[in-house]
């Protein structure tokens, strides 16, 4: 059973890589300026440039993608824009409840 799970986990790595690459690419292709979402319509060009720099949107696509994968390998999932805190801490905060629902579903 342990070997089966290990094989499945290893086989999922290329799929996860491909899904993340496609998702990252699609988000890059979406028209519009993501920095403008964080500012109102009266924002100046300097304010937009500052937000782009803070979000890393001023760097090339491949560099941003590579940096994201490096942070991911280090366990850094970034900062939630919605919660304004670490994504990793938000996941671990909610993990016990998720595991509880998962174990309840397995019991049925």
pTM for the whole thing? 0.67
Which tokens is 86 given?
A: 């670490």
Q: Are 65 and 21 in contact (CB under 8 A)?
A: yes
pLDDT per residue as tens digits for the range 39-87: 888 889 899 999 899 888 899 989 999 998 999 889 898 888 788 899 9
pLDDT at 37 over 70: yes
Q: Are 85 and 79 in contact (CB under 8 A)?
A: yes
């Amino acid at each position: 059973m342990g070997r089966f799970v290990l094989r499945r986990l290893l086989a999922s790595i290329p799929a996860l890589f491909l899904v993340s690459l496609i998702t990252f690419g699609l988000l890059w292709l979406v028209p519009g300026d993501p920095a403008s979402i964080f500012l109102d319509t009266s924002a100046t060009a300097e304010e937009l440039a500052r937000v782009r720099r803070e979000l890393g949107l001023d760097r090339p696509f491949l560099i941003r993608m590579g940096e994201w994968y490096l942070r991911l390998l280090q366990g850094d999932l970034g900062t939630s824009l919605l919660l304004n805190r670490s994504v990793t801490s938000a996941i671990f905060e909610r993990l016990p409840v998720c595991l509880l629902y998962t174990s309840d579903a397995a019991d049925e």
